[in-house]
Chains A and B, each alone.
Chain A
Amino acid sequence: MRRPPWLPMFLAALALAGAALLSLASGPVGIPPGRVLRLLCAWATGHKESGIDALIIVQIRLPRIILGGLVGAGLAAAGTAFQAILRNPLADPYVIGVSAGAGLGAAIGISLGLDLAFLGLSTIPLFAFIGALLTVALVYSLARINGRISMSSLLLCGVAVGAFLTACISLLLVFYRRNLDEVVFWLMGGLSGRGWRQVWYTAPYILIGLVVVRLLARDLNLMILGEENAAHFGVNATRTRNIILAVGSLLAAASVAASGVIGFVGLMIPHMSRLMVGSDHRRLLPFSAVFGAAFLVAADTIARVALAPMDMPVGVITALCGGPFFLWILRHGGRRRDA
């Protein structure tokens, strides 16, 4: 019995909508889902709905959920693309050091007080992006031995450089103690206190990144056969790899700038997505983006609610829930898929 091909995507979208609705409804102030929907409709159609509920939904919870969705989608798509070009299931922005680079870039920006608005966009994502890109370039050139890149050396260099950069962030914090709280809070990875401003300065980067990655889906399909094979089919492998490294860094940097370093999503979501929809990136990338968004929104909801009124960093939840779920999928999904 063959599943219709649209079914997984439909389910993922449904999960995202469900997670978003649940997240909007839950919190210290409980608002029933029916009322949430009515308030949202009113807001969307331009009716000014006053009242505390409307404010909570529209000004506090909605931007946080949208931002969570963007970050989840960005990290998942970046992980999917990295895993394809590096042909390694362990590759994700966190493992190859890009997240740490973005973190250091952003930390420098914050510490030097350079959070300026530039063309309506915050400069912090820019700093994070520069940090991420420099890290990719560094890791890449370190892993290049005699003009060839061994994937294991790339991962090892990534881990080493990531550890080094994390130490640099700590050092920076020692020197700029007055920013300690701000930076640490941000680094722990969380969405608390994020509002529309962060949504506006994160969304363009993530959306552009997602579009570019999706445009290269067919190239990525061939890249998993290996760069040389891909070249035989007419893929400009070097160009594709460089674009993906840059765009993946952009996605990771925007996510890190918005919500700090959230591990695990970029590693886990692509895997689970692949088990569900297969390796064709034309389906895999959109699916894993939506799935990643749903996952992070759900995780953030738990982070808000579980120890309320305390707000946990969402990174803790992604690892706590994601880890066991991931292992379960790995063991069971693998057996079923060829039946």
Chain B
Amino acid sequence: MLEVREINFSYTPGSPVLRNLSLKVNRGEVLAVLGANGSGKSTLLNLMAGTARPQSGRVLIGQTDLERLSRRSLAKRIAVVPQSELGESLFTVREIVMLGRYPWQGYLARESEEDKAAVDTAMSATGLSALADRRVNSLSGGERQRVQMALALAQKTPVLLLDEPTTYLDIKRQIELLDLIAAGDRGGRTVIMIMHDLNLAAAYADRLALLADGGILALGTPGEVLTARNLAEAFGITVDVMHGANGRPNVVLHAMKRRVTADGPLIHLVGGGGTAANLIPELASGGYRVSLGVINQGDLDAAVADEWGVETVLDPPASPVSAAAAERCLGMMLAAEAVVVANVPFGRGNLDNLRLVLRVCGLGHKVLVINEDAIGVRDFAGGEAAAIMGSLLAAGACEIKHWQMAAEVLPDMLQRPTSMTPRSPSAMISVPNGAE
């Protein structure tokens, strides 16, 4: 129905807002566009509405390029409910909804029966019939929002674009509005709406498009798009994704930026690549003090750690563990009462982390390794990681298969006396040089 093909758009040269973005919206479907502020959602909507022109690429409705349509014929095909308010005017509700008929009317023509019928239908669908003769500026914010909806419905277009339609509404009105535009019988109308509420989007949209950095990060059913990893990448937030009764995902936000105020045992985490993203909230909210390292700046785990106020040893992006970082991390590990190794893929760059763990393990520290995937498939260091893991387990490290078990296992582990003595001499061999 509406297709965006390889669009590039920027307001000022050199800082693109949308990069080579393509998106095809099917006839009659409800597509919700999600993304952080500045991800290009509104710009995409303006391009789809034809109020902005892409620098390259095309926007098609059916087979027709939007650029080839006059404003008026465009308005017969695409209705837009913008975020902006209607402004002050002394129109009555009926008069202002009639404005939606503009593209269908001639310059001096009187209102046709069809116009009147469309306006009546739009007003009754939005529950405004009783307010038909009220002046618009005597209406409440929620009523005005419904007036804007009614205007777009009176336009009788096959495509409806909405920019955050539920912004000013309380939750009941949000649901009513979405029931109206996205549920049940829409008469074959295609609906594209920008939304902020992930769960409402999941509940009402057939498909979601998640935008990040001017491109589409994920496109698909709500279940495919709303994953913890996608949301962490798009918004930098940590969430749990549950499955709702309607078979659609339900996102539970870890809403506040919670500083770890717990004074429980200190746990050091070895993570990276998002493998500690669930563990950090789990442990921090479980009363543990948490430290993390060594990881690279920009790593998802670093973002989560920052959100939770976790002390972290950082190295620059995409660089191997430095000697200084290794030494600081070793200090942290020694200070911690236990070291937890997440399900991290190990390569040459971060293998030193594992060597550090082996070293403190050899010194009698408690180590818990989470091997959700066999070490073999995570070993990109030519077997070295697997070898060290073997040594760790031999040296008495605990092993669990799921990160969710960590909170159960840790109390037991911590209560055990530190009876383990350094034994295997091999535990001492692989210490990184810089940490000496």
Interface residues of A (CB under 8 A from B): 2, 87, 215, 218, 221-222, 224-226, 228-229, 231-236, 274-275, 278-280, 337-338
B105 and A218 form a contact (CB under 8 A) = yes
List which B78-120 residues lie within 8 A (CB) of chain A: 79-80, 82, 84, 86-87, 89-92, 95, 99-100, 102-103, 105, 107-108
Q: How far is the CB of A228 from chain B (nearest CB, A)?
A: 6
B87 and A224 form a contact (CB under 8 A) = yes
Q: Tell which of B59-67, B133-141, B327-335 binds the partner.
A: B133-141
Most buried by B among A228, A229, A274, A338: A229
Known: A234-B70, A236-B71, A338-B138. 12 other contacts (CB 8 A): A2-B133, A218-B107, A221-B91, A224-B87, A225-B87, A226-B87, A228-B82, A232-B51, A233-B100, A233-B102, A234-B71, A337-B90
Q: How far is the CB of B79 from chain A (nearest CB, A)?
A: 7
Q: Considering the chains assembled together, what is the distance between the CA atoms of A338 and B49 in angstroms?
A: 35
20 A-B contact pairs sorted by A residue (CB < 8 Å)? A87-B87, A221-B99, A221-B102, A222-B102, A225-B89, A229-B82, A229-B86, A231-B51, A231-B71, A232-B49, A232-B80, A233-B100, A233-B155, A234-B75, A234-B76, A234-B103, A278-B90, A278-B91, A278-B92, A338-B138
| Closest A residue to B78 using CB positions | A232
**CB-CB < 8 A to B73: which residues of A?**
234
Asked whether any CB of chain A lies closer than 8 Å to the CB of B24, the reply is no
**CB-CB < 8 A to B134: which residues of A?**
338
B90 and A232 form a contact (CB under 8 A) = no
Asked whether any CB of chain A lies closer than 8 Å to the CB of B386, the reply is no
Q: Considering the chains assembled together, what is the distance between the CA atoms of A274 and B88 in angstroms?
A: 12
Q: Considering the chains assembled together, what is the distance between the CA atoms of A234 and B106 in angstroms?
A: 12
Q: Considering the chains assembled together, what is the distance between the CA atoms of A70 and B138 in angstroms?
A: 35
**CB-CB < 8 A to B76: which residues of A?**
234
B91 and A232 form a contact (CB under 8 A) = no
- Enumerate the 9 nearest inter-chain pairs by beta-carbon distance, A residue then B residue, closest first: A234-B75, A234-B103, A234-B72, A232-B80, A279-B89, A279-B90, A338-B138, A279-B91, A233-B102
- Within 8 Å by CB of B135, from A225, A232, A236, A338, lies A338
**CB-CB < 8 A to B99: which residues of A?**
221-222, 225, 233
**CB-CB < 8 A to B92: which residues of A?**
278
Most buried by A among B49, B89, B92, B151: B89
**CB-CB < 8 A to B75: which residues of A?**
232-234
Q: How far is the CB of A235 from chain B (nearest CB, A)?
A: 7
B86 and A225 form a contact (CB under 8 A) = yes
Q: How far is the CB of A10 from chain B (nearest CB, A)?
A: 19
| Closest B residue to A84 using CB positions | B89
A226 and B107 form a contact (CB under 8 A) = no
Most buried by B among A2, A218, A233, A280: A233
Q: How far is the CB of A270 from chain B (nearest CB, A)?
A: 11
On whether A229 and B135 interact (CB within 8 A), knowing A218-B105, A221-B99, A337-B90, the answer reads: no
B103 and A224 form a contact (CB under 8 A) = no
Q: Considering the chains assembled together, what is the distance between the CA atoms of A218 and B96 in angstroms?
A: 11
**CB-CB < 8 A to B87: which residues of A?**
87, 224-226
**CB-CB < 8 A to B86: which residues of A?**
225, 229
Q: How far is the CB of A274 from chain B (nearest CB, A)?
A: 5
Q: Considering the chains assembled together, what is the distance between the CA atoms of A260 and B308 in angstroms?
A: 72
- Within 8 Å by CB of B103, from A233, A278, A337, lies A233
On whether A337 and B100 interact (CB within 8 A), knowing A218-B107, A232-B80, the answer reads: no
Q: How far is the CB of B214 from chain A (nearest CB, A)?
A: 21
**CB-CB < 8 A to A278: which residues of B?**
90-92, 95, 135
| Closest A residue to B108 using CB positions | A215
| Closest B residue to A339 using CB positions | B138
A337 and B102 form a contact (CB under 8 A) = no
Q: How far is the CB of A147 from chain B (nearest CB, A)?
A: 10
| Closest B residue to A233 using CB positions | B102
Q: How far is the CB of A213 from chain B (nearest CB, A)?
A: 13
**CB-CB < 8 A to A225: which residues of B?**
86-87, 89, 99
List which B271-300 residues lie within 8 A (CB) of chain A: none
On whether A228 and B84 interact (CB within 8 A), knowing A233-B102, A338-B134, the answer reads: yes
A280 and B91 form a contact (CB under 8 A) = yes
Asked whether any CB of chain A lies closer than 8 Å to the CB of B74, the reply is yes
**CB-CB < 8 A to A274: which residues of B?**
90
**CB-CB < 8 A to B74: which residues of A?**
234
Q: How far is the CB of B94 from chain A (nearest CB, A)?
A: 10
| Closest A residue to B133 using CB positions | A2
**CB-CB < 8 A to B49: which residues of A?**
232
Q: How far is the CB of A269 from chain B (nearest CB, A)?
A: 15
- Within 8 Å by CB of B107, from A87, A215, A224, A232, lies A215
| Closest A residue to B137 using CB positions | A338
Q: Considering the chains assembled together, what is the distance between the CA atoms of A280 and B72 in angstroms?
A: 20
Q: How far is the CB of A250 from chain B (nearest CB, A)?
A: 20
Q: How far is the CB of A225 from chain B (nearest CB, A)?
A: 6
**CB-CB < 8 A to B91: which residues of A?**
221, 278-280
Q: How far is the CB of A18 from chain B (nearest CB, A)?
A: 26
Q: Considering the chains assembled together, what is the distance between the CA atoms of A226 and B73 in angstroms?
A: 20
Q: How far is the CB of B70 from chain A (nearest CB, A)?
A: 8
